[in-house]
Amino acid sequence: MFTITSFSKYLALILLVYTATAQGQVLNRDSFEHYISEFNKADDELYKFGDFPNEKAWTFLKTNIPFFECPDKQLEKTYYFRWWTYRKHIRNTPEGHIITEFLPDVSWAGKYNSIACAAALQFMEGRWLHATSYFEEYARFWLKGSGAKTVRGYSFWIANALENYTDVHNNDALLKELYPYLEENFKSWEKDHRDSTGFFWQTDDRDGMEKSISGAIAGCKTRGYRATINSYMFAEAQSLERLSLKLGNTSKADYYHRKSEEMRKKINNGLWDKNSSFFKVIPWGSKDMSFSDALELHGYTPWYFNIPPQNYSSAWKYLMNDKYFYAKYGPTTAAQNHPRFAISYQGHECQWNGPSWPFSTSITLTAMANLLNDYNQRYVSAQDYYKLLKIYSNSHQITFANGKKQPWIDENINPFNGDWISRTRLKSWEQNTWSKNKGGEERGKDYNHSTFNDLIITGLVGIRVGKNNELIVNPLVPLSEWDYYCLDNLLYKGKIITIYYDRTGKRYNKRKGYNILVNGNSVFTSTKPINAKVPLRS
């Protein structure tokens, strides 16, 4: 819950933002209020469970979010829309704040409507908010509170998520407090989900990927050795290694280093299909450990954690190919040329055998940004990243029966026409008791199961979060199309960061080219494309 100490920290952050603005931040935050007013006006506010209903949305966002401006106004609008929807999910409970996935209560959730499935992505997105106490409380909920009973109900890379969060907001005391619980969580995953093969196994629905092609092979009971869970557990071991070093425990660091490297080898040697040049599922119970024949989008998950070697980059040749994953509202969750690829309005309303899912899209785009930053390859480009990000942005809308359009985020998308499939299915069942038990027609309204703004900040603008006290910037912005952009009021390692590009110097009436400000002071300027590393002095 919001303590006096955390409130004092919050007031200090507000003062820091005010001071930095007085020192010369670039954007006028009030010029973006019209987006929030527009979203509020169009919204049928069915659920008011969070701390910040619509009438409080702008007050909260104005003091908590980084501000973003660019020539692509649809992309810019989606950025503010996703912050507007995110704050709806900040819910206070008797155990402190948590972040929800669904706004209405659903029967498969844990206490306070908590669900572990997308929690790691909720940390990744939410780490860019200025108020930090929510996420400290959320971490404690999963590890020390009622959430501990369901923390492994779905695949959840909590140690890595918490490490990424504290790389933005330093908090060694929190890491020290939660370290024993993170260790216990890892041991429990090994006990319950790792077998004699050395692989971790998971069912597709506990990966949050129901009815996937590789999860529905006859005889495998839907279990599989999947690149998802094995990548997540690699990341858990690697994060525990780094946390052990931070806490001065070198023997534990060595132990988790051996664990992570063992997992890296298992993933790269055992889940990589050389014939297809792709990471695939091995169905559980397969006597010869043979691969599923399906190429599925989650095969890109290992790059989310920089696991594969350079020569595996050929897997990315499929992403922009419309015979495989590329689509107007894609990418698709399975290759379109597979005989069991389907866009179905029959059976289960949440199928991962073809429809586009924001969860999977955000994992893939984060992995793609890592590829473009850390690998030498020729299969995809920064222009492709921007193209897919625009597709993702454009999918954030709905057209009602009366022709009215408005920004929207929901569950699964028809990759060919942009229809929100689950919503359409639930609407057809709206008089059905079974439908109501599943959350009703608007179950997925403002769904909090993915990232978007993190992709703008870390991918497009290029804030590459570092372990040391430094700022690394390597933008993927398409300068052939953009004459300017600005990310302002970004709280990073206790500093307020501003990054802007102005081709002529006339947009912001300051230096032209690339410019980086720390607490309002210019620390870097260049007229050429940048890959900058700036130390953050105390």
Domains in the chain (CATH in brackets) are 194-395+411-444 (1.50.10.10)
List C-alpha distances in Å: 385 to 204, 319, 392, 525, 528: 27, 10, 11, 25, 20
pLDDT tens, 186-209?
Answer: 999 999 999 999 999 999 999 999
Q: Find the length of the chain.
A: 538
User: Band of the pLDDT at 219, cuts 50, 70, 90?
Assistant: low
Q: Quick check: 168 and 492 in contact, CB under 8 A?
A: yes
User: Band of the pLDDT at 173, cuts 50, 70, 90?
Assistant: very high
Predicted pLDDT at 391: 98
Which of 336, 370, 375, 373 lies closest to 353, judged by CA?
Answer: 336
Write the secondary structure of 57-86 as one string of H (helix), E (strand) and C (coil).
HHHHHHHHCCEEECCCHHHHHHHHHHHHHH
Of the two residues 218 and 492, the one the predictor is more confident about is 492
Coil/strand/helix, residue 418: coil
Which of 287, 132, 133, 104 lies closest to 197, judged by CA?
Answer: 287
User: What residue type is 92 in one-letter code?
Assistant: N
The rounded distance, in Å, linking the Cα atoms of 209 and 35 is 33
Which of 351, 271, 273 lies closest to 318, judged by CA?
Answer: 273
405 burial via Cβ count (<10 Å: 0-12, 13-18, 19+): exposed
User: What residue type is 421 in one-letter code?
Assistant: I
Number of Cβ atoms within 10 Å of the Cβ of 153: 16
Q: Quick check: 469 and 52 in contact, CB under 8 A?
A: no
Which residues does residue 524 pair with via DSSP β-bridges, in sequence order? 516
Residue 14: pLDDT over 90: no
CA 108: distance to chain centroid?
22
In which residue are the tokens 């403002």 written? 446
Element (H, E) at 34: helix 33-42
DSSP state letter for 283:
E
Residue 7: pLDDT over 50: no
The predicted model gives 73-82 an average pLDDT of: 98
The predicted model gives 11-32 an average pLDDT of: 62
Percentage above 70 pLDDT, the chain: 93
Number of Cβ atoms within 10 Å of the Cβ of 123: 26
Structure tokens at 461: 């603008």
How confident is the prediction for the chain on average, in pLDDT? 92
Residue 361: pLDDT over 70: yes
Structure tokens at 482: 């953009």
Structure tokens at 272: 């990589």
In which residue are the tokens 């410019």 written? 515
Q: Quick check: 279 and 272 in contact, CB under 8 A?
A: yes
What's the sign of the alpha-carbon dihedral 266, 455, 89, 140? Answer: positive
Predicted pLDDT at 436: 58
Instruction: For residue 179, report the phi and psi dihedrals to the nearest 5 degrees.
Output: -55, -50
The rounded distance, in Å, linking the Cα atoms of 420 and 408 is 9
Instruction: For residue 97, report the phi and psi dihedrals to the nearest 5 degrees.
Output: -80, 145
Which residues does residue 224 pair with via DSSP β-bridges, in sequence order? 202, 283
Write the secondary structure of 460-484 as one string of H (helix), E (strand) and C (coil).
HCCEECCCCCEEEECCCCCCCCCCE
pLDDT tens, 334-360?
Answer: 999 999 999 999 999 999 999 999 999
Which residues does residue 464 pair with via DSSP β-bridges, in sequence order? 472
Predicted pLDDT at 48: 86
CA 348: distance to chain centroid?
25
User: What residue type is 345 in one-letter code?
Assistant: Y
Structure tokens at 224: 């599989």
Q: Quick check: 517 and 24 in contact, CB under 8 A?
A: yes
Residue 378: pLDDT over 60: yes
Residue 10: pLDDT over 50: no
Residue 314: pLDDT over 60: yes
Which of 215, 376, 236, 375 lies closest to 298, judged by CA?
Answer: 215
The rounded distance, in Å, linking the Cα atoms of 157 and 283 is 22
In which residue are the tokens 């997540």 written? 232
The rounded distance, in Å, linking the Cα atoms of 181 and 141 is 11
Q: What is the Rg, in whole angstroms, of the alpha carbon atoms belonging to the chain?
A: 22
Structure tokens at 271: 């889940």
Which of 461, 498, 502 lies closest to 484, judged by CA?
Answer: 502
The rounded distance, in Å, linking the Cα atoms of 290 and 421 is 33
Query: Is the bond into 331 cis (omega within 30 degrees of 0)?
Result: yes
The rounded distance, in Å, linking the Cα atoms of 34 and 313 is 42
